[in-house]
């Protein structure tokens, strides 16, 4: 029952009481005042009852929504911990090897040559493809090869000691020659004996190169005849031709500059060692 209904019923009772037969005569002021006080008291009581009913209804609705029973600490069901969902388990196959990658750090090393002690890093894996032997330094082969790694293909120079290679420098990345007819060149300086200045007597030069595709490569020394380079390979780095040229340092060549050699390919590319090569 709502508050308006209570007010209406109580008012009806009071009116019925007031309208009952009364003796005829002058108005009884005392009785009228008492009746007014009774009516006011009844209305106040009705207000209190209605308010209590509203509070009770709200409390019941809140209990149904929030579930007061689950919040009671003395309820053994409510105080039980909720089991968490275990993380998913990823199944792995023993037949699948872990992904390969180059080691974070290579073992440092050095070798003693006629030019002194040469430092570098020992390769952790065999070369990617064929290895070109480009010279000899004491007891060791000087080699030109592609590094085996999961990243971009890099070409390096090193010294081979038995079945191990000491990497002495990285000279090219195939990405620099990919999709172009450019000839990448490294070296071309005079390789003489230690000293200050370097003794170029009996010295030689060494040029390393890389070009995209499988092509023939020739070299023309200044004042000399055109000829094939000393060595080439299309199997050192797939999709590229790696090559080298080596020879005696000629009288009249300026030892301060690089060797005056013109390199050309069968695809029509051309480069001049003195201006287009680089050295460390």
- What pLDDT, on the 0 to 100 scale, is given for residue 182? 93
What are the residue boundaries of the structural domains of the chain, listed by start? 1-14+45-69, 108-276
- What pLDDT, on the 0 to 100 scale, is given for residue 191? 83
The whole model's pTM is what?
0.62
Report CA-CA distances (Å) from 40 to 6, 10, 21, 45, 151. Answer: 14, 11, 22, 9, 95
- What pLDDT, on the 0 to 100 scale, is given for residue 20? 46
Report CA-CA distances (Å) from 178 to 185, 228, 244. Answer: 14, 23, 19
| In the block, residue with structure tokens 């009364």 | 22
Mind listing the pLDDT tens digit for each residue in 78-109?
445 455 555 554 444 444 444 344 455 789 99
- What pLDDT, on the 0 to 100 scale, is given for residue 71? 43
- What pLDDT, on the 0 to 100 scale, is given for residue 8? 53
- What pLDDT, on the 0 to 100 scale, is given for residue 108? 95
Structure tokens at 148: 């085996």
Q: Closest Cα partner for 160 from 206, 128, 120?
A: 120
Provide the terminal-to-terminal Cα distance of the chain, rounded to the nearest Å: 100
Q: What is the gyration radius of the CA atoms in the chain, in angstroms?
A: 51
- What pLDDT, on the 0 to 100 scale, is given for residue 262? 98
Residues of the chain with pLDDT under 70: 1-104, 192-202
Mind listing the pLDDT tens digit for each residue in 202-211?
689 999 999 9
| In the block, residue with structure tokens 């082969």 | 141
- What pLDDT, on the 0 to 100 scale, is given for residue 161? 97
- What pLDDT, on the 0 to 100 scale, is given for residue 242? 98
């Amino acid at each position: 029952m709502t508050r308006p209904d209570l007010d209406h019923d109580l008012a009806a009772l009071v009116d019925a009481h007031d309208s009952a037969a009364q003796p005829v005569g002058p108005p009884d002021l005392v009785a009228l005042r008492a009746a007014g006080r009774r009516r006011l008291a009844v209305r106040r009581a009705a207000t209190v009852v209605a308010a209590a009913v509203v509070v009770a209804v709200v409390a019941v609705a809140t209990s149904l929504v929030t579930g007061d029973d689950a919040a009671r600490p003395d309820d053994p069901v409510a105080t039980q911990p909720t089991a968490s969902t275990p993380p998913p388990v990823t199944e792995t196959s023993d037949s699948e090897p872990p992904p390969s990658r180059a080691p974070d750090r290579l073992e440092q090393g050095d070798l003693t040559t006629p030019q002194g002690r040469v430092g570098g890093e020992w390769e952790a894996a065999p070369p990617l493809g064929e290895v070109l032997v480009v010279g000899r330094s004491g007891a060791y082969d000087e080699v030109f090869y592609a590094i085996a790694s999961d990243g971009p293909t890099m070409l390096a120079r090193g010294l081979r000691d038995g079945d191990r290679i000491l990497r002495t420098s990285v000279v090219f990345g195939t990405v620099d020659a990919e999709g172009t007819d450019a000839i990448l060149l490294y070296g071309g300086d005079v390789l003489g004996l230690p000293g200050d200045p370097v003794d170029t007597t009996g010295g030689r030069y060494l040029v390393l190169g890389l070009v995209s595709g499988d092509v023939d490569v020739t070299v023309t020394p200044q004042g000399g005849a055109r000829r094939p380079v000393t060595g080439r390979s299309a199997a050192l780095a797939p999709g590229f031709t790696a090559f080298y040229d080596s020879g005696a340092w000629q009288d009249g060549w300026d030892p301060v500059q690089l060797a005056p050699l013109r390199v050309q390919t069968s695809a029509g590319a051309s480069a001049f060692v003195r201006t287009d090569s680089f050295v460390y």
